[in-house]
Chains A and B, each alone.
Chain A
Amino acid sequence: MGDYTSLKVLDRFKWLFQKLHIDYEVMRKILQLKLTMDARRMPTVFNGSKVKKEGNQFVKSLWLYVLYGLILLTPFLFLGDQFIFSVSIMFSVLMFILMTSMVSDYSAVLLDIRDKNILHTKPISTRTLNAAKIAHILIYMFLLTGSFVIIPLVVSIIRHGITFALIFAIEIILISCLVVVLTAFVYLFILRFFSGEKLKDIINYVQIILSIAVMIGYQLVIRSFDIINLDITYTYAWWHLLLPPIWFGAPFELFLNNNLSPHIIIMTIFALLAPILSIVIYICLMSAFERNLAKLASDSNRKKMKSRKLAKFWSNVLCRTKEERTFYMFSSLMMTQERDVKLKIYPQIGMAFIIPFIFLFNELRDRPLEEVAAGNTYMIIYFSLIMIPTVIHMLKFSGTYKGQWIFRAAPIHNESSIYSGTLKACIINYFIPVFLVLSVLFGWLFSIRILPDLFVVLLVAIAITLVSYIILNGEVYPFSNSHEHTRDISSLKVFGGMLVIGLFVIVHLILSKIPFGLYVYMLLLIIGILIGWKKTFPRNIKKEAIR
């Protein structure tokens, strides 16, 4: 356990804690332990990158937040002098990022039920324990917010002067408090009415949303500077009183533009009072919060079974043997219920869905809609296939990989049916939904004439699924490796995958020029897939003799 700079800073405030009758030495020890544990956790923003688990990943992830601050906040500082508009947008972004990071990465801090067993049984006062918890959260909040706003803050001094920066800094502190308390309230609310499992699911979805938002954030970089030239004037409406980011825009108007209209004053008061009030309520409700945490390990009192008619239907249509159907059902459940699997794969699917649109919009900026609709821009739907190699690779891993003993202990006659079922489930559960939505939208945009092309894309997707499996996995049991030992899929392989997709696109383009070429291509693909699948997953193999 190392000594942390944040703790040394905290030492300066020792007198404050002691005045509040808090056992500072004990609190410091708890914090030191917690920080050490956190250093061994992986923040969501790093999801998918190949950092090794050494050093405090959190501190390294802060650089990413500095970058976000530059990209997502700074442009708005140049948005004219009507502060309430520009600042409100900035604070919306800030609150969104802080809130999602809070939920996704620090839920472990807020929701540690181990605390109860380990710390509450020791002779430590509740006061000290709560102080430790709050200090722990504050350290994070300080580092996170600090790195996020550092660049905008410096820029704001230059652009709008010191008064602006001062109001900005104070408001950021208030917002941080509000965000922490709001997050806690969200948990409290969910736990009050739902089960712990539901909460974990919700946290999981927030993590997924954050991952997707971060990826889209990159895409916004190019566009964000376009907005600067926009000239929008702010007009007040009563429902603005319900939007916290606008409250925080109001003080700038009040103090810098001397706007003394009543709604600005009301919102300024809100901006000041709401965080303070929320903290008071939070302290009052802290014990209720702890009580509800006990529910964390519970599941809802579901008595009925979820019917999985659709999955059953597909398993009957697509699988030839009963064994394969069993694995199809099992894989479908893993893909939709296992949180680690979802956290790794869903962002990829989100990207697969979004990338074609980004290219489409780029295209639409240069040319009118009619011209685009008449051309072959619809080929960008192939970009949604890029996710397939990565997703197939991810099927190797899961958080419950230790359950895999059952594969070996059970009398499985044809082990090739395991992955065969899994890949089919992967196509149906992951690819088809994205592809269907894209197809409907593209079909509507480019008219019904692209139907044969879309069918070819579907076949290519299946072919690529098979090829990726052969190249990247080539093993017997899915979901049987730990994420912790993920050596990330080498970029060479991903690049190779893109190259293969590129080849398919070229063939597609050439053949679409020849009459009936597309239909011949279709036939060839179908035959190729059928033969390839049979070869990869032979029906009657005996497990080779062991020893």
Chain B
Amino acid sequence: MTKQKVLSLTDVTMSFGNKQALNGVNLEVYQGQIIGYIGPNGAGKSTTVKIMLGLIEGYKGEIEIFGEDIANGDVSYKRKIGYVPETAELYDNLTACEYLTFTGELYGLSTEDAQSKAMKLMNEFNLETVFHQRLSSYSKGMKQKVLIISSLLHDPDLLFFDEPLSGLDANSVMIIKEILDQLAKRGKTIFYSSHIMDVVEKISNRIILLVEGRVVADGTFEELQAQSKEGTLEEIFNQLTGFSEHKEIAEKFVEIVSEGKVNG
């Protein structure tokens, strides 16, 4: 089976007012890849994902997903995409059942299918008892699980996960990692952005580093290692983003903390 091209970005630039968020991003992603999309805060990771989903308009350049230019006005490409946003924003006055049924229907499932599938998936996360409770009473981790379920309900081919593990406990993290692995084996493509370097190091089979709206590194972990002669992804990240003064900053910080005396 030849690997199919799932998405490609050509010279994508984006600016918000004077601020240049993306400076010509070029990318090609193939089926079955798990891409760790990393970069410092404000590098443009979330912006890239949001542009590809059509959440932000007004970019320049060309984006093709499943071989179609997303600017052509046809939104049906979104049907094959699942998305977990960075901040757990959902209609939390609804119950999990209501929310998941609603999103499932938006992606073309029937009410009954969406509901029963949502119930089964919630069951696997041990959330069946809270299925009919309002999302506002959920903990952060529980909301995150609901968002992950809502992104997978329609069996998408391409997944955009923006910091999907935030708020999850160690056991749940293991489950999600395994889920991603198995989904990739079934030919799904996963676009994964995170700040937790050792997770990215372990699960991705391709890592893309974005700095100031530009791709500065692209390859497997081993390739990046060979390139920069560093041991861990964290160190590679520090080196490529040109950051080395963490010790000095920490020292100064602690210095200030122990300065002065607390009253009383």
Q: List residues of chain A with CB under 8 Å of any chain B CB.
A: 195-197, 297-306, 322-323, 326, 329-330, 333-334, 337-339, 399-400, 402-403, 405-406, 408-413, 542-547
CA distance A197 to B106 in the complex (A): 27
Residues of B within 8 A of A306 (CB): 132
Selected from B98, B129, B136, the residue in CB contact (under 8 A) with A303 is B129
Residues of B within 8 A of A399 (CB): 93
Distance in Å: Cβ of A115 to nearest Cβ of chain B: 19
Check if A546 sits within 8 Å of B97, measured CB to CB.
no
A interface footprint on B74-108 (CB within 8 Å = 1, 0 otherwise): 11111101010101011111110110001101111
Check if B105 sits within 8 Å of A326, measured CB to CB.
yes
Check if A409 sits within 8 Å of B93, measured CB to CB.
no
Residues of B within 8 A of A411 (CB): 75-79, 106-108
Distance in Å: Cβ of B192 to nearest Cβ of chain A: 17
User: What are 30 pairs between A and B in contact, CB < 8 Å?
Assistant: A196-B137, A297-B137, A299-B130, A299-B136, A300-B133, A301-B129, A303-B129, A322-B105, A326-B105, A329-B102, A333-B98, A334-B91, A337-B134, A400-B90, A402-B87, A403-B90, A406-B103, A408-B54, A409-B55, A409-B78, A411-B107, A412-B75, A413-B76, A542-B73, A543-B75, A544-B73, A545-B71, A546-B57, A547-B59, A547-B60
Residues of A within 8 A of B76 (CB): 411, 413
Indicate whether B58 reaches chain A with its CB closer than 8 angstroms. Answer: yes
Check if B102 sits within 8 Å of A330, measured CB to CB.
yes
Given A409-B53, A410-B106, A413-B75, CB of A304 within 8 Å of CB of B90? no
Check if A305 sits within 8 Å of B97, measured CB to CB.
yes
Residues of B within 8 A of A329 (CB): 102
A interface footprint on B48-77 (CB within 8 Å = 1, 0 otherwise): 000001110111100000000011111111
Selected from A300, A302, A546, the residue in CB contact (under 8 A) with B54 is A546
Residues of B within 8 A of A303 (CB): 129, 131-132
- Most A CB atoms within 10 A — which of B58, B60, B74? B74
Please give 10 more A-B residue pairs, beta carbons under 8 A apart, in addition to A299-B130, A329-B102, A338-B93: A197-B137, A326-B102, A333-B102, A405-B89, A406-B106, A409-B78, A412-B106, A413-B75, A545-B72, A546-B70
Residue of B whose beta carbon sits closest to that of A200: B136
Residue of A whose beta carbon sits closest to that of B75: A411
Residue of B whose beta carbon sits closest to that of A197: B134
Residue of A whose beta carbon sits closest to that of B108: A411
Check if B91 sits within 8 Å of A400, measured CB to CB.
yes
Distance in Å: Cβ of B24 to nearest Cβ of chain A: 17
Residue of B whose beta carbon sits closest to that of A308: B98
CA distance A412 to B107 in the complex (A): 8
Distance in Å: Cβ of B203 to nearest Cβ of chain A: 23
Residues of B within 8 A of A412 (CB): 75, 106
- Most B CB atoms within 10 A — which of A305, A339, A411? A411
Given A304-B132, A400-B92, CB of A546 within 8 Å of CB of B73? yes
A-B pairs under 8 A by CB, number: 109
Residues of B within 8 A of A403 (CB): 89-92
Residue of A whose beta carbon sits closest to that of B137: A299
Residues of A within 8 A of B57 (CB): 546-547
Check if B107 sits within 8 Å of A410, measured CB to CB.
yes
CA distance A543 to B54 in the complex (A): 11
Residue of B whose beta carbon sits closest to that of A306: B132
CA distance A288 to B53 in the complex (A): 49
Residues of B within 8 A of A547 (CB): 57-60, 71
CA distance A405 to B53 in the complex (A): 10
Selected from A304, A337, A542, A546, the residue in CB contact (under 8 A) with B71 is A546
Residues of B within 8 A of A338 (CB): 91, 93
Residues of A within 8 A of B92 (CB): 400, 403
Distance in Å: Cβ of B23 to nearest Cβ of chain A: 18
**Considering the complex, which residues of chain B in the window 208-256 have a beta carbon less than 8 Å from any beta carbon of chain A?**
none
Check if B103 sits within 8 Å of A337, measured CB to CB.
no
Check if A410 sits within 8 Å of B103, measured CB to CB.
yes
Distance in Å: Cβ of A366 to nearest Cβ of chain B: 47
Residues of A within 8 A of B81 (CB): 409
Residues of A within 8 A of B106 (CB): 323, 326, 406, 410-412
Check if A409 sits within 8 Å of B83, measured CB to CB.
yes
Residues of A within 8 A of B90 (CB): 400, 403, 406
Check if B105 sits within 8 Å of A299, measured CB to CB.
no
CA distance A25 to B23 in the complex (A): 54
- Most B CB atoms within 10 A — which of A197, A330, A399, A545? A330
Check if A543 sits within 8 Å of B55, measured CB to CB.
no
CA distance A306 to B133 in the complex (A): 11
Check if A337 sits within 8 Å of B94, measured CB to CB.
yes
Residues of A within 8 A of B87 (CB): 402
Residue of A whose beta carbon sits closest to that of B74: A542
Check if B137 sits within 8 Å of A408, measured CB to CB.
no
Residues of A within 8 A of B58 (CB): 546-547
CA distance A505 to B137 in the complex (A): 48
CA distance A305 to B95 in the complex (A): 9
Given A197-B137, A411-B79, A411-B108, CB of A405 within 8 Å of CB of B93? no
CA distance A542 to B105 in the complex (A): 19
Distance in Å: Cβ of B7 to nearest Cβ of chain A: 15
Residues of A within 8 A of B136 (CB): 197, 299
CA distance A305 to B134 in the complex (A): 11
Residue of B whose beta carbon sits closest to that of A342: B93
CA distance A378 to B167 in the complex (A): 59
Residues of B within 8 A of A410 (CB): 78, 103, 106-107
Residues of A within 8 A of B130 (CB): 299
A interface footprint on B156-169 (CB within 8 Å = 1, 0 otherwise): 00000000000000
- Most B CB atoms within 10 A — which of A303, A338, A410? A410
- Most A CB atoms within 10 A — which of B92, B93, B110, B136? B93
Residues of A within 8 A of B98 (CB): 333
Residues of A within 8 A of B79 (CB): 411
Residues of A within 8 A of B83 (CB): 409
Check if A408 sits within 8 Å of B102, measured CB to CB.
no
CA distance A337 to B97 in the complex (A): 14
Check if B85 sits within 8 Å of A405, measured CB to CB.
yes
CA distance A305 to B93 in the complex (A): 15
Distance in Å: Cβ of B119 to nearest Cβ of chain A: 10
Residues of B within 8 A of A300 (CB): 133
Distance in Å: Cβ of B138 to nearest Cβ of chain A: 9
CA distance A365 to B78 in the complex (A): 63
Residues of A within 8 A of B60 (CB): 547
CA distance A334 to B110 in the complex (A): 20
- Most A CB atoms within 10 A — which of B55, B77, B92, B132? B132
